[in-house]
């Protein structure tokens, strides 16, 4: 090795320099605009639809969660004019924005909050797959779309 550094470390350092120049490695709370958060929320709900069609229900539910989280952070950015808090708790985000959630949306966000660890880090894959079946995932997807529509208004 010419530089005396491990080749993988050198590649990682090179990647980080390129990512920094392109803005890819910005911290989560420093996104430039509410519009960007909302674009990503739309992208994630579309991804959830594709995952559901592909019968990948755990990632579909996680993408529903991610979509709602990003939409809430977009609204936070728009209303509060600052970087959104670094939390993944949907109810905390809604509370910090001072959203007056209707009961159905509040209950859905509480349910979706619980899906975050279950779908991202399931203790047992088979158990999680028994919970997040096709009908359950389609129901969560429809409720996510309804919540997104409500959050945007």
Domain span at 122? 31-152
Owner of token pair 């950015």? 77
Domain count, the chain: 2
The total number of residues shown for the chain amounts to: 153
Token digits of residue 106: 């509040």
Q: Are residues 19 and 60 in the same domain?
A: no
Q: Are residues 56 and 111 in the same domain?
A: yes
Q: Are residues 54 and 118 in the same domain?
A: yes
Q: Are residues 35 and 15 in the same domain?
A: no
Token digits of residue 152: 């945007």
Q: Are residues 39 and 114 in the same domain?
A: yes
pTM across the whole model: 0.80
Owner of token pair 């209303």? 79
> Domain of 68: which CATH number?
1.20.120.330
**Of 25-29, 66-70, 82-86, 141-145, minimum mean pLDDT range:** 25-29
User: pLDDT band at 25, cuts 50/70/90?
Assistant: low
pLDDT reading at 23 higher than 80: no
Q: Are residues 57 and 122 in the same domain?
A: yes
pLDDT reading at 45 higher than 80: yes
Residues 6+ apart with CB under 8 A from 92: 85
Tell me the three state secondary structure of residue 12.
helix
Token digits of residue 40: 């990503």
Q: Are residues 140 and 107 in the same domain?
A: yes
Q: Are residues 65 and 101 in the same domain?
A: yes
* Percentage of residues of the chain with pLDDT beyond 90: 75
Cα 7 from Cα 92, distance rounded (Å): 43
pLDDT in tens, 51-81: 999 999 999 999 999 999 999 999 999 999 8
Cα 56 from Cα 49, distance rounded (Å): 10
């Amino acid at each position: 090795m010419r530089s005396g550094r491990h080749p993988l470390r050198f590649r990682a350092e090179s990647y980080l320099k390129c990512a920094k120049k392109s803005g890819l490695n910005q911290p989560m709370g420093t996104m430039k605009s509410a519009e960007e958060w909302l674009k990503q929320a739309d992208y994630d709900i579309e991804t959830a639809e594709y995952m559901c069609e592909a019968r990948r229900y755990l990632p579909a539910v996680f993408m529903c969660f991610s979509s709602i989280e990003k939409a809430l952070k977009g609204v936070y950015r728009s209303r509060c004019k600052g970087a959104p808090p670094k939390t993944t708790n949907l109810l905390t985000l809604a509370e910090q924005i001072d959203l007056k959630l209707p009961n159905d949306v509040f209950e859905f966000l509480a349910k979706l909050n619980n899906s975050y660890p279950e779908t991202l880090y399931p203790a047992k894959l088979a158990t999680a797959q028994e919970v997040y079946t096709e009908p359950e995932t389609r129901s969560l997807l429809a409720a996510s779309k309804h919540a997104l529509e409500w959050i945007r208004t």
